[in-house]
């Protein structure tokens, strides 16, 4: 026992754990262990290096992700190559405001076309809009006639599910939307549908879940959501235009097997606007 008032002596003891020699210093305060085999400064340095490495890896992955998301995924044949003349309909490009085009390309569109097709023989016209989203398939969520048209002053009257038969005799499900403008007394009818990885769908629920919202990190153009809209002033006009144009438009989008039929359609005709006349 130490005399009262004296300073406690430090007692050093040797301890072993898993074959490693430790020196235990006993005295005031807690028990301190120091590994003779691994200095404390080295363990700290390793921890710091690991943190720095993890941070660098995270920044690298984040940078790669931003690069992928900011780089459009290209179709084997661009939508711009869709023929101007299809089954009696002649197209012309519609001007897209620069701010609209920049927003689309920044947020969700990898490719799109906006055209007016006119059938002079029948005295009909229809505006055709096709947008392809692959790098961020779910970026198109919320961009649909029932949202976008009212945002530009149109009043929604009704939306009904329907079907058209394409020129190639393929049934295609669609939605028919009707709007009117109270100030100009105009009306517009919009036929629309989505194409999800080659399959027709009418609801966003099919790609609004967790798996649908994932960015397309693999860069696979066959993983996508596309939207087709055909609009005019009369329902029979949009139905006829959609029936005549649909097969050609869908040929530029990957089917369920990832095949793009337009590759064969425009092979050897780069830069030309081919005329398409489907067999009736």
Per-state percent for the chain, helix, strand, coil, to nearest 5: 30, 30, 40
In the chain, the percentage of residues whose pLDDT exceeds 90 is 54
- For residue 100, is it within any domain? yes
- Exposure on the CB side of residue 236, measured as CA atoms within 13 A: 3
pLDDT of 142 reads 86
pLDDT of 156 reads 97
Strand order in the sheet with 20-26: 11-17, 20-26, 32-35
pLDDT of 17 reads 45
- For residue 60, is it within any domain? no
- For residue 63, is it within any domain? no
- For residue 45, is it within any domain? no
pLDDT of 236 reads 97
Mean pLDDT of 165-189: 96
- The Cα–Cα gap between 78 and 1 comes to 92
Q: Any idea which of 95-109, 157-171, 200-214 has the lowest mean pLDDT?
A: 95-109
From 191, 194, 188, select the one nearest 149 (Cα to Cα): 188
Q: Any idea which of 92-96, 174-178, 221-225, 276-280 has the lowest mean pLDDT?
A: 276-280
pLDDT of 33 reads 43
pLDDT confidence tier of residue 215, bands split at 50, 70 and 90: confident
- For residue 57, is it within any domain? no
Mean pLDDT of 227-242: 97
- Exposure on the CB side of residue 49, measured as CA atoms within 13 A: 6
pLDDT confidence tier of residue 209, bands split at 50, 70 and 90: confident
14 in Cβ contact with 25 (< 8 Å): no
218 in Cβ contact with 262 (< 8 Å): no
Q: How many domains does the chain have?
A: 1
48 in Cβ contact with 33 (< 8 Å): no
Q: Which residue has the higher pLDDT, 272 or 100?
A: 100
- For residue 12, is it within any domain? no
- The Cα–Cα gap between 103 and 106 comes to 5
Q: Residue 156 in 3-state DSSP?
A: strand
Helix/strand/coil (H/E/C) assignment for every residue in 93-143 = ECCCCHHHHHHHHHHCCCEEEEEEEEECCCCEEEEEEEEEECCCHHHHCCC
Q: Which domain holds residue 145?
A: 73-276
pLDDT at 27 over 60: no
From 80, 143, 77, select the one nearest 107 (Cα to Cα): 143
- For residue 184, is it within any domain? yes
pLDDT digits (tens, 9 = 90+) for 64-101: 555 555 678 999 999 999 999 999 999 999 987 676 66
Q: Residue 161 in 3-state DSSP?
A: strand
pLDDT digits (tens, 9 = 90+) for 100-153: 666 676 667 899 999 999 999 999 999 999 999 998 888 888 889 999 999 989
Alpha helices in the chain (DSSP H): 40-70, 98-107, 145-151, 210-213, 235-250, 262-265
Instruction: Kindly compute the dihedral angle of the four CA atoms of residues 80, 198, 159, 108, in this order, to the nearest 10 degrees.
Output: -50
Mean pLDDT of 196-225: 88
β pairing state of 32-35 and 225-232 = unpaired
pLDDT at 31 over 50: no
pTM (whole model) above 0.75: no
- For residue 48, is it within any domain? no
237 in Cβ contact with 125 (< 8 Å): yes
Q: Which residue has the higher pLDDT, 257 or 15?
A: 257
227 in Cβ contact with 144 (< 8 Å): yes
Q: Any idea which of 4-8, 107-111, 128-132, 253-257 has the lowest mean pLDDT?
A: 4-8
């Amino acid at each position: 026992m130490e005399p009262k008032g004296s300073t406690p002596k430090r007692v050093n003891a040797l301890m072993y754990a898993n074959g490693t020699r430790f020196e235990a210093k006993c005295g005031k305060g807690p028990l301190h262990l120091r590994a003779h085999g691994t200095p404390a400064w080295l363990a700290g340095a390793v921890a710091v290096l690991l943190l720095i490495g993890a941070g660098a890896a995270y920044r690298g992955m984040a940078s790669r992700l931003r690069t992928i998301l900011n780089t459009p995924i290209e179709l084997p044949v661009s939508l711009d190559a869709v023929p101007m003349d299809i089954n009696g309909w002649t197209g012309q490009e519609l001007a897209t405001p620069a701010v609209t085009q920049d927003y689309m390309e920044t947020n969700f569109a990898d490719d799109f076309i906006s055209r007016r097709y006119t059938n002079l023989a029948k005295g009909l016209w229809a505006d055709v809009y096709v947008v392809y989203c692959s790098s961020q398939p779910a970026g198109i969520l919320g961009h649909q006639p029932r949202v976008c048209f009212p945002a530009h002053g149109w009043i929604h009257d009704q939306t009904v599910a329907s079907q058209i038969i394409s020129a190639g005799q393929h049934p295609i499900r669609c939605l028919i939307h009707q709007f009117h403008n109270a100030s100009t007394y105009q009306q517009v009818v919009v036929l629309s549908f989505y194409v999800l990885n080659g399959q027709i769908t009418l609801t966003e629920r099919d790609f609004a879940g967790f798996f649908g919202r994932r960015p397309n990190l693999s860069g696979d153009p066959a993983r996508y959501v596309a939207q087709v809209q055909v609009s005019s002033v009369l329902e029979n006009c949009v139905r006829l235009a959609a029936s005549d144009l649909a097969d050609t438009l869908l040929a530029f989008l990957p089917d369920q097997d990832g095949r793009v039929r337009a590759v064969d359609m425009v092979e050897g005709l780069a830069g030309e606007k081919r005329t398409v006349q489907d067999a009736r």
